[in-house]
Amino acid sequence: MTDDEAPQTKPWSDIDLSRWRDYPDVKTDSLWLYDSRASGDGHKLDYHGNFIPQIATQIFTRYTKKDDIVLDLFLGSGTSAIEAARLGRRCIGVELKADLVDYVAGKIDPGQLGSRIHLLQGDSASPEIVPQVSGALGSLGAEHAHLLMLHPPYADIIKFSDQSADLSNASTTEAFLAGFEAVARHGFELLAPGRFAALVIGDKYDRGELVPLGFWCMERMNRVGFKTKAIIVKNIEGNEKGKGRTANLWRYRALAGGYYIFKHEYVILFFKPKK
137 is a domain residue = yes
Domain count across the chain: 1
174 is a domain residue = yes
Entry pTM: 0.92
Strands of the 145-150 sheet, one edge to the other: 31-32, 227-235, 264-271, 191-201, 145-150, 69-72, 90-95, 117-121
4 is a domain residue = no
9 is a domain residue = no
5 is a domain residue = no
pLDDT tens sequence across 68-127: 999 999 999 899 999 999 999 999 999 999 999 999 999 999 999 999 999 999 999 999
Give the CATH number of the domain where residue 250 resides: 3.40.50.150
3 is a domain residue = no
Q: What percent of the chain has pLDDT over 90?
A: 81
pLDDT tens sequence across 126-160: 999 999 999 999 999 999 999 999 999 999 988 88
pLDDT tens sequence across 48-63: 567 899 999 999 999 9
159 is a domain residue = yes
**CB-based contact 149:79 (threshold 8 Å):** no
Quick check: helix, strand or coil at residue 272? coil
CB atoms within 10 A of CB 31: 10
Range of the domain at 242: 17-271
